[in-house]
């Protein structure tokens, strides 16, 4: 009986394999930026785009700072126009350069975690404001 169950599961897994393979082939990665809202978002600074892979945690930290700042700003002013939700990267870059640029990797990872918590705390309220404005 047990062997029959294993054979049935194996047969099911084999029958689904072609479906997964086709679905995987249809996933084509792209570097094109396409958004549903706020189409004219500012691009990340060039230095962030060109950062070596081994230092990607620096780029992630700036992205986390940017996201937390922007969600908190949306909640603080109660406005979710595109300029508020996606401003220039200058403020996030300034925080990074002033507070973290000379930190060790582990310190930047801790800082990223803190900014992620801040963004998560503001996300629900920001989403409600942005949904009302059609910018979520």
Q: Is residue 19 part of a domain?
A: no
The number of folded domains in the chain is 1
Rounded CA-CA distance 71/120 in Å is 9
Q: Is residue 70 part of a domain?
A: yes
41 exposure class (CB count in 10 Å sphere: 0-12, 13-18, 19+): middle
The answer to whether 92 and 69 are in contact (CB under 8 A) is: yes
How many CB atoms are located within 10 Å of the residue 61 CB? 27
Q: Is residue 22 part of a domain?
A: no
Of 110, 119, 112, give the one whose Cα is nearest residue 62.
112
Q: Is residue 39 part of a domain?
A: no
> Model confidence over 45-88: pLDDT tens digits?
999 999 999 999 999 999 999 999 999 999 999 999 999 999 99
Q: Is residue 8 part of a domain?
A: no
Domain that holds residue 66: 46-133
Residue 15 has a pLDDT of: 61
Q: Is residue 129 part of a domain?
A: yes
> Model confidence over 94-112: pLDDT tens digits?
999 999 999 999 999 999 9
Chain mean position to CA 63 = 8
């Amino acid at each position: 009986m047990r062997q029959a169950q294993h054979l049935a599961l194996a047969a099911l897994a084999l029958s689904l394999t072609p479906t997964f393979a086709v679905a995987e082939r249809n996933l084509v990665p792209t570097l094109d930026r396409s958004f549903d809202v706020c189409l004219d978002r500012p691009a990340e600074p060039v230095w962030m785009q060109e950062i070596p892979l081994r230092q990607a945690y620096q780029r992630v930290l700036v992205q986390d700072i940017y996201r937390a700042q922007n969600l908190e700003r949306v909640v603080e002013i109660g406005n979710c126009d595109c300029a508020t939700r996606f401003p220039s990267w200058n403020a996030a870059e300034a925080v990074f350069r002033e507070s973290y640029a000379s930190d060790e990797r582990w310190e930047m990872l801790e800082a990223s975690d803190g900014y992620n918590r801040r963004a998560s705390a503001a996300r629900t309220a920001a989403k409600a404001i942005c949904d009302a404005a059609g910018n979520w």
